[in-house]
Structure 1
Amino acid sequence: MFELKGRKGIITGAVQGLGYAMAKGLHDAGVELVILDISEKVEEVAEAMASGGSKVHAVKVNLLDRHDLQIGFNKALDHLGGELDILINNAGIHDPKPALDLKMESFDRIIEVNIAAVFQLCRLAGEVMIQRGSGKIINIASVLSYFGGYNAAAYSTSKGAIAQLTKSLSNEWAGSGVNVNAIAPGYFETSLNAFIMQDEARFSQLVARIPAGRFGKPEELVGTVRFLASSASDYLNGVLIPVDGGFLGR
C-alpha cells in the first residue's frame, strides 16, 4: 500500500530545505525523480542524490518564465520516458515586509511563482495523469493558508490560493483517478525562516505557541509526502494536511 519503488515523479525547488528533504525521502523509497530548480546547483544535487539508488535527473528552469517552465516540464517528462506518477509543487518565494513597504514587483513575483507556476504545472501534469487514469499531485501550502501571518501579505495570499486551487482541481480530477492534495507545513528550520529564527523575541513567541515546543526539521515531512504519493491515499482528495507540531490546534 505504501510501496513507491519504480514510480516516477517531478518536484520543484528541491535543491535545499523542505524540497530537498522530500526529494531525498522519495528517492530513498525508490522513486525516479526529476528536480526542477533555478539554482546553479541543481545538477550537483541531483547527481549526489542519485549516487545512492534510483535515478535523479536535473532540469534548470525559471518558474517566473512561463515558456521556460513549459520547456522544463517537457524535458522532465522526456527524462521519465513520458510517464508521470507524482508531481510535488514545492518551490515558493517570500519577501517578508510590511504591506506598505512591499513593492508591487515583488508581489507580482510571489504570485507568479507561488500560484501561477503551480497552476501551470498542475495542468501539464494533470493532462498526462488523466490520460493514464492515475496520478498524485501534492501542493505545498502553509499554515498561512489558514492565517494571515505577519509581514506576509503576498505570501499568505499565495498560500491561501494554493489551498483553494487544490480543492478545485480535486473536484475536477478525482473521478479520473488523479489525487490532488496539499501539505500545510508549519514553522520549520529552513533558510526561508532564517529571518524568524534570528529574531529572538518573535522566535520565542512562535515556539511558545507550538505544542511540540520547537520548529520542525525538514525530514519530518517525509512520512506525509510518502503517504500522499502512494496508493495508501487513493481515497483522499482535496485535503490540506497540516504538519506543524500542533500549531493550528493551539
Structure 2
Amino acid sequence: MTSFDLTGRLAVVTGASRGIGRAMARALAEAGADVIGVSATLEQHGSQVAKDVLAAGRSFEAIRADFADPVAVRDLGEELAGRERPVDILVNNAGTIRRAPAAEHRDADWELVLQVNLNAQFALTRAVGAAMVARGHGKIIFTASLLSFQGGINVPGYTAAKHGITGLTKALANEWAPHGINVNAIAPGYIATDNTQALRDDPVRGKAIVDRVPAGRWGSADDLAGATVFLASDAAAYVHGTVLPVDGGWLGR
C-alpha cells in the first residue's frame, strides 16, 4: 500500500548499531527511507546496519554521538536540525540499563540511565522537532518499554526513565499534533537483545518470563519492524500520543 511507502524520506535512528535499532533502520530502509544511523560506537563504514540499509537500495550515513554527554547530544540536535535535507522521521531508540537492587543502586548508574534514556531523548527531539514544526510535518517515534507500565525488578533508573518516555510522548503529541507532527512510542516486550542477556541467562527468571508471554517465546528485534514502519508512515496520520506494545501479549495477560 502506498500509505506505508517511505520513499524519499530521511530517517534518523539512534542506537542503530545493533539489536532493536538496527532492525528499525533496516525496516525503514526496506520501506524506502534513507537512513542516518547514530550510535556511540558506530563505524563510519562497513557496519552491519550500513550493509542492511545499502542492501535495501537506500543511502546510509553514520554519526557517532555519546548520549551520555549532554553537549554531544545538543550538538547533534543542532547539526541535524540545520541540514539542508530535513529529517522526516526521528526514531529515539538509544538506551542503556544498569541492574542493581534499589537500596544498592549507585547515583552514577541512576544519573547515567536518566541521561541516556530520557534527558538526551528530550534534547535531541526538541531540536529536530522544532525544525519539523517549522515545516509542518514529521514523524517521531520513541522506544518505550514494558517498564513504561510496570515497575520491574532491580532497574529503578530504567523504569523511571521509561515512564518518563511515555509522558514525554504524550506531552509532545499534545503540542505538536496541530503542526502536522506525529509523536508516538513503541513498547517492546521481552526482546532477545544485549539488554536482556542477563535475564535470558538466568534459568529461573528466563523460564518464568517465557511462561508468562502468551506468544510463548522471546521476541526478536525484527518483531518491531512493522510497528516502526506503520508509525513512520502516512498510514498513522491520525495516530498521536500512543504507546504501542509489541510484547507477545504480555500486558494483556
Match of 1:22 in 2: 24
Counterpart pick for 1:204 among 185, 193, 207: 207
Match of 1:54 among 42, 52, 58: 58
Alpha-carbon shift at residue 131 of structure 1 (Å): 0.9
Query: What are the superposed Cα offsets for residues 195-232 of structure 1, whole Å, 9 maximum, x if unpaired?
Result: 00000100111111100001101101000000000000
Contact 2:30 2:53 in 1 (8 A): no
* Aligned twin of 2:145: 142
Query: 2:222 aligned to 219, 229, 236, which one?
Result: 219
Gaps of 5+ in 1: none
How many angstroms apart in 1 are the aligned matches of 2:183 and 2:116?
Answer: 19
* Correspondence list, 1:149-188, <5 A: 149-188=152-191
After TM superposition, list the pairs within 5 Å mapping 1:27-46 onto structure 2: 27-41=29-43, 43-45=45-47
Question: Percent identity between the aligned chains?
Answer: 39
Q: What TM-score comes out, normalization by structure 2 length?
A: 0.95
Q: CA deviation at 1:74?
A: 4.1
Q: 2:5 aligns with which of 3, 7, 13?
A: 3
Q: Deviations over 1:63-99 (max 9, x none)?
A: 1222212222344456x63311100000111011111
CA distance in 1, matches of 2:177, 2:81: 22
Q: Does 1:64 align with 2:33?
A: no
Match of 2:15 in 1: 13
CA-CA distance at 1:125 after TM superposition: 1.3
- Structure 2 residue ranges without an equivalent (≥5): none
Q: Which deviations, in whole Å up to 9, do the C-alpha atoms of 1:143-168 show, x marking residues without a partner?
A: 11000001111101100000000001
- Compute the RMSD of aligned alpha carbons: 1.4
Which residue does the alignment assign to 1:248? 251
Count how many residue pairs are aligned between Structure 1 and Structure 2.
249
* TM-score, with length taken from structure 1: 0.96
Which residue of structure 2 aligns with residue 103 of structure 1?
A: 106
Task: State the distance in 1 between where 2:128 and 2:79 align.
Answer: 13
Give the 3-state SS of the residue equivalent to 2:12 in structure 1: strand
Instruction: State the Cα deviation string for residues 110-131 of structure 1 (Å, max 9, x = none).
Output: 0001000000111111111001
Residues 81, 127 of structure 2: 8 Å contact kept: no
Q: Which moved more, 1:233-242 or 1:80-89?
A: 80-89
